[in-house]
């Protein structure tokens, strides 16, 4: 059975105690270089493969330091501090000896405690009731996701009016469908198209500079989701002087909040 494109893209070969060799995946190509979500997943993948890893991902921050060139990269994941049940990681992706991504991750052994989902899932029609978009895909990576927009999809007309809201809600999963894990959830945290496009109905040049993912489920819980749809919601808080932020949530169909994620994005004009 052929590997799923996501597993092919996030495969890494050992190249040292804290170093792996990977390569960019044409299946996840973006306008220039790869989809940022797959790059973030590749960085986390180094942590997930590390023989010294303790616990499961709770927090991940990646900074896109330079555009990746298509081809090989080195992934470095180094434990900076190992405590009794938690571990802090320093991350880097390098090409031609230069950092193209920097980051940190936090893994932990989690314990059962009191819990509550305070940000509850918005009500929405079921995924199957929402048609798939028919528009031509501008970039390859979009074909790797099944996206069914509940509201706030791509503007129908790029007429440059201020729409007053940057919010998008959609059902989303890998295409072809694939069981959920922390690496694929990382990539899914970046599927939301740039909020400035939605707010302004204008395709200005953009680029994510920093992205943080908080994971609220362990591997067993993610395995239970299997290849079910996730409800994703994303919205910006402020656009100013060339940078905006956006925050997003990803819930299971049953309403369990699996990940909350934030990013700051460069935009031109």
Identify which of residues 15 and 66 has a Cβ nearer to its own copies in the complex.
66
- Enter the tokens of residue 174: 């890998």
Q: How far is the CB of 24 from its own copies (least distance, A)?
A: 18
Q: Name residues contacting its own copies, limited to 94-123 (CB under 8 A).
A: 98-100, 102-104, 106, 108, 110-119
- Is 262 among the residues that bind its own copies (CB under 8 A)? yes
- Give Cα 264 distance to the centre of its chain: 13
Decide if 65 contacts 102 (C-beta within 8 A). Answer: yes
Closest CA to 127 of 208, 231, 25: 231
Query: Nearest approach, Cβ of 57 to its own copies (angstroms)?
Result: 11
Exposed, middle or buried, 248 (CB in 10 Å: 0-12/13-18/19+)? buried
Beta partners for 60? 105, 213
Give which of 202, 198, 190, 208 is closest to 152, Cα–Cα.
Answer: 198
CA distance 18 to 75: 8
Among residues 72, 176, 242, 255, which is the contact residue for its own copies, using CB under 8 A? 242
216 binds its own copies (CB under 8 A): yes
Q: Which residues from 130-189 bind its own copies, rule CB under 8 A?
A: 162, 165-166
Rounded Cα–Cα distance for residues 258 and 233 (Å)? 12
- Calpha distance 250→231 (Å, rounded): 6
Tokens of 257: 């909040």
Under rule CB under 8 A, residue 254 binds its own copies = no
Distance (Å, rounded) from C-alpha 73 to C-alpha 233?
Answer: 32
Of 195-214, binders to its own copies (CB under 8 A) are 199-200, 209-210, 212, 214
Nearer Cβ to its own copies (9/257): 257
Judged by CB under 8 A, the stretch of 17-25, 128-136, 144-152, 254-262 that binds its own copies is 254-262
Query: What is the Cα–Cα distance from 147 to 158, expressed in whole angstroms?
Result: 20
Residues 60-79 that bind its own copies (CB under 8 A): 61, 63, 65-66
Could you say whether residue 194 binds its own copies (CB under 8 A)?
Answer: no
Residue 178 CB, nearest approach to its own copies (Å): 24
Residues that bind its own copies (CB under 8 A): 58-59, 61, 63, 65-66, 80-81, 83, 86, 88, 90, 92, 98-100, 102-104, 106, 108, 110-119, 162, 165-166, 199-200, 209-210, 212, 214, 216-218, 235-243, 245, 247, 249, 257, 260, 262, 264, 266-269
């Amino acid at each position: 059975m052929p590997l799923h494109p996501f597993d092919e893209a996030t495969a890494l070969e050992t190249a040292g105690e804290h170093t792996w060799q990977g390569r960019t995946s044409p299946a996840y190509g973006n306008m220039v270089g790869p989809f940022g979500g797959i790059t973030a997943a590749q960085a986390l993948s180094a942590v997930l493969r590390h023989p010294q890893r303790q616990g499961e991902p709770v927090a991940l921050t990646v900074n896109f330091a330079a555009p990746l060139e298509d081809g090989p990269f080195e992934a470095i994941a180094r434990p900076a501090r190992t405590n009794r049940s938690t571990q802090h990681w320093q991350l880097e992706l390098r090409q031609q000896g230069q950092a193209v991504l920097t980051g940190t991750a936090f893994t932990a052994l989690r314990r059962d405690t009191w819990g509550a989902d305070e940000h509850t899932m918005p009500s929405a029609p079921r995924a199957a009731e929402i048609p798939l978009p028919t528009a031509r895909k501008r970039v390859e990576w979009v074909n790797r996701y099944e996206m069914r927009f509940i509201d706030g999809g791509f503007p129908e007309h790029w007429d440059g009016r201020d729409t007053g809201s940057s919010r998008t809600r959609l059902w989303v999963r890998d295409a072809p469908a694939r069981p959920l894990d922390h690496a694929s959830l990382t990539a899914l945290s970046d599927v939301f198209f740039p909020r400035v496009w939605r707010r302004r109905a204008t395709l200005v040049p953009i680029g994510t500079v920093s992205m943080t993912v908080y994971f609220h489920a362990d591997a067993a819980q993610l395995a239970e989701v299997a290849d079910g749809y996730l409800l994703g919601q994303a919205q910006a808080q402020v656009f100013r002087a060339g940078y905006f932020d956006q925050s997003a949530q990803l819930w299971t169909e049953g309403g369990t909040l699996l990940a909350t994620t934030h990013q700051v994005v460069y935009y031109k004009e």
